[in-house]
Amino acid sequence: MNYDRLETELASLPLYGYFFLKTRDLTFTERVRWICRHECQMYGKTWACPPAVGSVEDCRAKCLAYPNYLLICTVTEVDDIADITATLATRAEHEAVTRRVEALIRAEGQEIYTLSTEACAICESCAYPSGPCRHPEQMHPCIESHGILLTQTAEECGVPFQYGDNVVTWFSMISFGRPQVRPRHRPPKNEPGAASDWRRLPWETILLCSLLGKARHPA
């Protein structure tokens, strides 16, 4: 893995920031999954969301099979961030950048596993659950679908989750390396229950999951 060469390529992309990190430092919690189940209307609607992605335990095992990951973020200014349609429209550019970064890492001989923004929007109507994913090579599960507390990871990297009233921030996580089979995680018996502890999550996480789910499936 030639990091100097890769960083030279990354510097040419419209990224606000990128960070090389270790998957072992990620925080996985059932509390994020609880929000998916109870606050996001995309739950059970796509292959990129729970329960199709597997349990949080399974998702953790998938990520930890790769020793490293690259966190990338882009920012886009919109006229009115409350306009969810306009906000979601900025995802396409971010996903295009994510695919370019994937290609760069693959060119270094690395295997990858990518998580990205919100529910997949490649198809107008997802084949889930009656049929297999039509574009498995392009589909990126949502970061939060894996129970990852993204707000904490962003904060640890010094990246604000929100930059301003009308600025949209998108993140992708690209795990890479030579995948290894790892034992499944068994949470400690004293881990707080998901339903009782979800309110301790950052308000940005709760609000974003709720708004994006309602935007994709308005009442």
- Where does the pLDDT of residue 164 fall: very low under 50, low under 70, confident under 90, or very high at 90 and above? low
- Mean pLDDT, rounded, for 148-161: 81
- Where does the pLDDT of residue 3 fall: very low under 50, low under 70, confident under 90, or very high at 90 and above? very high
The larger pLDDT score, comparing residue 186 to residue 29, is at 29
Q: Is the pLDDT of residue 189 over 60?
A: no
Q: Is the pLDDT of residue 120 over 90?
A: no
d(C-alpha 196, C-alpha 93), whole Å: 37
Based on its alpha-carbon atoms, the radius of gyration of the chain, rounded to whole angstroms, reads: 17
pLDDT on residue 183: 39
Question: Beta-strand (E) ranges in 133-178?
Answer: 167-177
Parallel, antiparallel, or unpaired for β 167-177 and 68-77? antiparallel
Burial class (CB in 10 A: 0-12, 13-18, 19+), 207: exposed
% of the chain with per-residue pLDDT over 70 = 79
Q: Is the pLDDT of residue 83 over 70?
A: yes
